[in-house]
Structure 1
Amino acid sequence: MVWKIYLHLTMMLSLGLGSFFCGLVFFVVSFSGMSNVIEWELMTLNSVCVSFVMIFDWISMLFLCFVLLISSSVLYYSGSYMKGDANFDRFMYLVLMFVFSMGMMVLSPNLISILLGWDGLGLVSYALVIFYQNEKSANAGMLTILSNRIGDVAILLAIGLMVKLGSWNFIFSVYELSDKDWVLLKVLVMLAAMTKSAQMPFSAWLPAAMAAPTPVSALVHSSTLVTAGVYLMVRFSPALEDSSIQSVLLIVSCLTMFMAGLGANFEYDLKKIIALSTLSQLGVMLSILSLGYPDLSFVHLLSHALFKALLFMCAGVIIHSVSGYQDIRCMGCLVKFMPLSVSFMTVANLALCGFPFLSGFYSKDMILEVAFMSKINFISLILYVLATGLTVSYTFRLIFYSLSGSFNLSSLSNLEDGDKIMSNSMIVLSMSAVFMGAVLIWMLFPEPYMICLSGLMKNLVLMISILGASLGYLMNLMNVTCNMKSLSNYSSVTMGGSMWFLPFLSTKEVSKISLSGGAVMEKMVDKGWFEFMGPQGVYYSLSKLFFILSVLQVNGIKVFMKMFLIMVVILGFSLYV
C-alpha cells in the first residue's frame, strides 16, 4: 500500500497539535504563577555569557498558541489556494520556516537569540514576497528587506550596549533601565519595533508586501512579521514607564493609524485596503502601549490576529472567484453568489470596526476608553477619534463596493463557495473572531478596569463609528460626484491616498540621494583619502623602506668598509688630539 503525503494536511495537523500543547502549557503556567527558563551556554567572553535562552511564561505560550493556530489554518487553506502552483512544496517549506522563525523570537528573552528569529523573519519574508518572480515582486521584496534591515542594525547596536549589563537576558534587568543611563538603548529598541511594525516613516513596505501570495499576507499581517515589533515592545514595556520615549512613540503611532485610515479610504486594491487596516491597528497597539498599558496592547494583538487572518483568507477566496481581479470596483453584489464567504468577511469586518460582542470590541473599546481617560494631549485625542471614524468608514466602503454594491463582474467569473478546504479553514477562525475576545478578557483581566468618563466621552466612540459608517457607505452611493470632487482637489487627494508620499520618499528619493551621495563618497573617500592614507599610502611608505633595506643588503660589504674606515679615522683623530 502506497501512502501519499499531503503537505498542507501534515503541516496543519502538526501545527494544530503544537497550538493545543502550547495552550495546555499556558493554563499550567497561568494557574501556577511560575515561569520556566531553559538556558544553554554557548560561549563566555570576558565574563559575559553568550547563551541560547528559551522562556515559557504566559505571554510566550499564549502568543505561540495563537501563532500556531493561525498558521495551521493558513497552511490548510494554502493546500487549495496554491495547488496549481509549480512551486507548491517550496512555498509550504518557506511558510514553515517563517513560523519557526516567529517561534524562535517569541520564546527568546535574550537579545542575541531574538536576533536569530528577527533576522529569520526578514529573510524568509523577502523570499515569500518575491515568490512570483516578477518585477513588481522584486521591487516590493527589496523595499521590505531594506526597511527591516534598519531594525536589524538597531538590534545589533542594542546588543553592543547591553554588554554593560553583563548579560543579554533583558527580561531580568528590564526594570532597572532608567532614562539616565539607558535612553539610547530604548531608542534603538523603539526604532527596531517601528521598522518591523511599519510605523512612520517606515510604513511604505507594508502595502508593498502585498505582492506575496494571499496566504502569506494572512500570516504576515495577523500574527507573525508585523506583530514582532509590538511583541518586542511588550517585553520591554517595564523599561518604558515614566520614560521620555513614551511621548515620541505615542505621537508616531497616532500619526500612523490616522495616515493608514486616511489612505485606505482612497485605495481600490482589496489587499492593500486590508494591509492599511493592519497598519492602523498596529498604531492602536503601540499607542496604548506607550500610555502604559502593555496588557491591553497584547490582548488587542491576539484578537486582531484572528479576524485579520480571516479577512485575508476571505479576500483570497473572492480574488480567486473573480478571475484574479483585486480592484474592488470590478466586484459587487457578491452576497448573492458567495453567501458563506461574504458572511465570514462581514464578521471579520465588523470585528475590525469594534462591533459589540465580537472579538475586536472587547479590546478596542477598552483601549479607546482608557486612552480617553489617560493624560494625553489634544492632538493625540483628535487623532484617536479621527482614526476610529476612518476605520469604520473604509470598512463600510469596502462592504459597499465588493459585497453589496451593483454587479460589476465579467461573465467569465466563477462565483461560488464551492471549495471545501478554503471554507473549512475559515470556519475555525470565524468562530474565534466571534468568541475569543470575550474569552481573552475573562482570562487575562480577572479584575475589572476602573474607567471613569463623562457621558459625552463615553458615547463619543459610538457616535464617531456611526458617523464613519454613514460616510463610508452613503458617500460612495454618489461615487461619480465624489470622483469629480477628487479631481478638482487632485493634490490633496493624492497626498491622502498615497500614504503622505511615503512610498515615493522610501524608494526614488532615498535611492537618488544614496546613489549620488555614494558616488561622491566613493570618489573622495574610498578612492581618495582612504587610498592615500590607507593601502596606497602604506604601500608607498613600505616600498621606500624596502628600497633602503635592499640597498643596505646588496651593498653591505662596501657600506661596512666605509663605516669602518670612518670610525678608524675618527678614533685616530681623537687619539692624536
Structure 2
Amino acid sequence: MFVKWSMMLLLLSILFFNFFLVNIFSKNFFLIEYVISSMSSMDLKFYFLFDWISNLFICIVLLISSMVIMYSNSYMNSDKNKNCFCIIVLMFVLSMIMLILMPNMLMIILGWDGLGLVSYCLVIFYQSTNSYNSGMMTIISNRVGDVMMIMSVLFLFNFGSFDFMSLNKTELILGIFIILAGMTKSAQIPFSAWLPAAMAAPTPVSSLVHSSTLVTAGVYLMIRFNYLFTESLNMMFLLKISLITMMMSGMNAYFETDFKKIIAFSTLSQLSMMMIIISLNMPELAFFHLVMHAIFKSMLFLCAGLIIHFMNGNQDIRMLGNFFKVSPVIMSCMFISILSLMGYPFIGGFYSKDLILEFFFLKINNLILLLLFMMSIIFTFMYCIRLLYFMMLKSILSMNYYSVILDFKMVIPIYVLTLFLLISGNFILWTVVMNSKIIFVSLMSKFIGMILMMLSFYVSFFIFKSSLKYKYSMEFFYKMWFLSSLTSMIFMLNNKNLLKMSMMDWKWMEMMGPTGFKNEMNKLALPNFWLNLISFNKILILIMLMILFLT
C-alpha cells in the first residue's frame, strides 16, 4: 500500500512540475470554474487555479509526501495501524492540495479545516496522555485561525462574491483577518506553543507537517493574498511580531537538547523569516524560501527519524556523536541539510536566505529592527553550529545502537531529497526570482551574511569552552518565554483546585479513552478471564441452590 501510493504521488509531482514549466515560461495560467448554485446576485463557484505558484508548491508537497510515505513503510513497519496511518497522511495531503488550488474563500475553508482536523488525528496517533494534551493544544490554537477565516467569509458576503480575485483594492479589516489566520497556522507569537507540542506525532508526520503542509499553510495564504493587506499599519505589525518570534525561537533552539524540538524551533524561526519578507512586500522571495525550506527541513526530519530509530527512541543530541561511525553517508546528508539551514554558500537555502538578508538591509532603516534581525540570524547560526558540534565532534554520553542495518526504503528518500536540494536552489532562483526583480546593494550588505556567520562561530566557540551552569533565571529561555503556560494554562496559575481537577481529567482520559478501551478488550480476549470472573465460592453457592430446588 505504501509503495503504490508513494509511486503515484511521485508521478503526480512530475506532472505538476511540467505544468509549472509551461506556466512560468509562457507566463499564463489555467482557471477551471464550476458554478454549484446561484442565489439572487451571488454565485457559489468551485475554482481550481493552476498558476506557477500553485503548480510548483503542489509539486514540492507531492514529492515530499511521496518520500515520507515510502520512508514510513519501514519506519511504521511494526505498528499494527500502519495502513490507517497511510490513509490519514493521504487525507492530510489532499487537504493541503485543496488549500493550494482554490482561490475561493469557502473552498479554502474546506482545506484549512481539513488540515486542522487531520493534524489532530496524526498528533494523537500514539495514544497517551502527552499526545492527547499536545493534540488539544494544536487544535484549539488553530481554532482561532478558523474563526478569522469564517469572519472573512462573512465580510466577503457584503461584496456579493467569495472570490479573492473579485477584490481589486486593499481592505484593512479583511487584511487583519487574513494576518491573524496566518499567524495561528504558522505559529507566530502568541500562538507559538502548539508547534513544539506537535512533536508528539510520529517522525514521518513531523517531516510532512513542519516542511510543506500544516505550518506553511498560513504563509502560503498570505503570499497568495498579500495584496489585501498592503496597508503600512498591517505590514509594520506583522514585521514586529515576526522579528520577536524569530528571536524567541532561535534562543529556545540554542538551549534545547531534544533533537526533534530543536528542528521544530528552527522551523518556527524560518517561518518568521518568511513572514518578515512578506511584510516587506516581497511575496515571490517568501515563496522561494518556503520551497527551499520545505525541501531541506523534510530531509532533516527524515535523517533525524532514522537516527532516533537506531537510538531506540532516544532524542537527546548529547548522544549523537557515535552515529557518524555507524552511518557516515546519512550523517553527511544531515550535515548538508544543516548547512542549507544556516545559509552556507551555494547549498539550497543559501540562495533564498542571502536574498532575504540583502532585501531586509535595503528596505529597513530602523536601528532597533536591524539589531533584532541580526541577533535572530546569529542565533540561527549558533544553534546550527551547536547541532553540528554535538553531531560531529563531541559525544558526552555513550549510547548503544540496536539495529544498524539500513533499510533501503528509509535511505532512498533521503538521497532523493539531498539531490533535489543541491539542484533546486539555483534552478528556482533563475526561473522564478530573477524574472521579477534585481536587487542592488552595497558591498557591506552583500557580505553581511558571511560576517554574521563568522561572528556566530566565534561566539559559539567561546560558549563551548566556558561552562554554563543551569540557573532558574534561564527557565525563561528554556520554556519559550513561558508562552506555553500563558496560552494554555493561564487560568490554572493561581488555582490549585483547577490543577487537581485537570490531573483527574488526564487520568480519566487515560482510563476511559482509547488506551483503556484497548486494555479492556485485551482482557476479554484472554480465556482465563472468564474463569477468574466466576470464583470458586460462587460455584459452590450455585450448586447448593440447585440441590435445594431439586429436592
Taking structure 1 as the reference length, what is the TM-score of the superposition? 0.83
CA distance in 2, matches of 1:513, 1:39: 55
Q: Secondary structure at the match of 2:211?
A: coil
Cα separation, partners in 2 of 1:144 and 1:473, compared to 1, 3 Å: farther
2:6 to 1, 12, 22: 12
**1:258 is aligned to 2:247:** yes
Cα separation, partners in 2 of 1:106 and 1:255, compared to 1, 3 Å: same
Percent identity over paired residues: 43
Consecutive unaligned residues of structure 2, counting only runs of 5 or more, are 499-551
Pairing 1:365-384 to 2, within 5 Å after superposition: 365-384=354-373
1:39 maps to amino acid:
E
**Deviation, structure 1 residue 228:** 0.3
Q: Secondary structure at the match of 1:39?
A: strand
**Deviation, structure 1 residue 163:** 1.2
CA distance in 2, matches of 1:289, 1:23: 25
**Deviation, structure 1 residue 513:** 9.9
Cα separation, partners in 2 of 1:514 and 1:169, compared to 1, 3 Å: farther
2:237 maps to amino acid:
V
CA displacement 1:502-533 (0-9 Å, x = unmatched):
1111211156799999xxxxxxxxxxxxxxxx
2:33 maps to amino acid:
E
CA distance in 1, matches of 2:452, 2:403: 35
Give 1:538's aligned residue: none
Cα separation, partners in 2 of 1:467 and 1:446, compared to 1, 3 Å: closer
2:184 to 191, 195, 211: 195
CA displacement 1:254-312 (0-9 Å, x = unmatched):
11111100110110100000000000000000100100100000000000000000000
Pairing 1:469-484 to 2, within 5 Å after superposition: 469-473=457-461, 475-478=463-466, 481-482=467-468, 484=469
Give 1:548's aligned residue: none
Q: Secondary structure at the match of 1:52?
A: strand
Query: 4+ residue runs of structure 1 moved beyond 6 angstroms?
Result: 511-517
1:502 to 461, 475, 483: 483
Give 2:100's aligned residue: 106
Q: Which moved more, 1:13-22 or 1:504-513?
A: 504-513
Q: Which moved more, 1:163-172 or 1:74-83?
A: 163-172
1:343 maps to amino acid:
S
**1:186 is aligned to 2:186:** no
**1:438 is aligned to 2:426:** yes
1:396 to 376, 381, 385: 385
Give 1:21's aligned residue: 15
1:207 maps to amino acid:
P
Q: Secondary structure at the match of 1:379?
A: helix
Give 1:137's aligned residue: 131
**Deviation, structure 1 residue 376:** 4.5
Pairing 1:299-318 to 2, within 5 Å after superposition: 299-318=288-307
2:97 maps to amino acid:
G
2:416 maps to amino acid:
V
Pairing 1:42-53 to 2, within 5 Å after superposition: 42-53=36-47
Q: Which moved more, 1:443-452 or 1:49-58?
A: 443-452
**1:347 is aligned to 2:336:** yes
Q: Secondary structure at the match of 2:281?
A: coil
Give 2:140's aligned residue: 146
Give 2:90's aligned residue: 96
2:410 maps to amino acid:
M
2:318–2:396 contact (8 Å) kept in structure 1: no
Matched positions, count: 498
CA displacement 1:199-227 (0-9 Å, x = unmatched):
01000000000000000000000000000
Pairing 1:212-227 to 2, within 5 Å after superposition: 212-227=201-216
**1:405 is aligned to 2:394:** yes
1:165 maps to amino acid:
F
1:292 to 278, 281, 285: 281
Q: Secondary structure at the match of 2:153?
A: helix
CA distance in 2, matches of 1:474, 1:416: 35
**Deviation, structure 1 residue 171:** 2.8
Q: Secondary structure at the match of 1:325?
A: coil
CA distance in 2, matches of 1:100, 1:16: 14
**Deviation, structure 1 residue 455:** 3.6
1:339–1:417 contact (8 Å) kept in structure 2: no
**Deviation, structure 1 residue 237:** 1.1
CA distance in 2, matches of 1:409, 1:507: 37
2:9–2:63 contact (8 Å) kept in structure 1: yes
Give 1:528's aligned residue: none
Q: CA RMSD for the aligned pairs? A: 1.9
Give 2:152's aligned residue: 158
1:30 maps to amino acid:
I
**1:31 is aligned to 2:43:** no
CA distance in 1, matches of 2:119, 2:436: 39
CA distance in 2, matches of 1:501, 1:75: 35
CA distance in 1, matches of 2:416, 2:6: 13
**Deviation, structure 1 residue 166:** 1.4
**Deviation, structure 1 residue 448:** 7.6
Cα separation, partners in 2 of 1:445 and 1:273, compared to 1, 3 Å: same
Pairing 1:403-552 to 2, within 5 Å after superposition: 403-406=392-395, 408-411=397-400, 413-414=401-402, 416=404, 418-447=406-435, 449-473=437-461, 475-478=463-466, 481-482=467-468, 484=469, 486-487=470-471, 490-491=472-473, 493-509=474-490
**Deviation, structure 1 residue 416:** 3.5
Pairing 1:300-339 to 2, within 5 Å after superposition: 300-339=289-328
CA distance in 2, matches of 1:387, 1:357: 22
Q: Secondary structure at the match of 2:34?
A: strand
Give 1:176's aligned residue: 169
Q: Secondary structure at the match of 2:162?
A: coil
**Deviation, structure 1 residue 407:** 5.7
**Deviation, structure 1 residue 475:** 2.3
CA displacement 1:444-469 (0-9 Å, x = unmatched):
03448443434433322211111213
Cα separation, partners in 2 of 1:516 and 1:298, compared to 1, 3 Å: farther
**Deviation, structure 1 residue 40:** 1.9
Cα separation, partners in 2 of 1:40 and 1:290, compared to 1, 3 Å: same
Q: Secondary structure at the match of 2:447?
A: helix
**Deviation, structure 1 residue 27:** 1.5
Larger Cα-atom Rg: 1
2:111 to 101, 111, 117: 117
**Deviation, structure 1 residue 242:** 4.2
Cα separation, partners in 2 of 1:59 and 1:414, compared to 1, 3 Å: same
Taking structure 2 as the reference length, what is the TM-score of the superposition? 0.87
Q: Secondary structure at the match of 1:176?
A: coil
1:333–1:407 contact (8 Å) kept in structure 2: no
1:115 maps to amino acid:
I
CA distance in 2, matches of 1:240, 1:153: 18
**Deviation, structure 1 residue 333:** 3.1
Give 1:80's aligned residue: 74
CA distance in 2, matches of 1:298, 1:46: 38
CA displacement 1:363-384 (0-9 Å, x = unmatched):
0000011000003522221121
2:361 maps to amino acid:
F
Cα separation, partners in 2 of 1:313 and 1:477, compared to 1, 3 Å: farther
2:378 maps to amino acid:
G
**Deviation, structure 1 residue 164:** 1.9
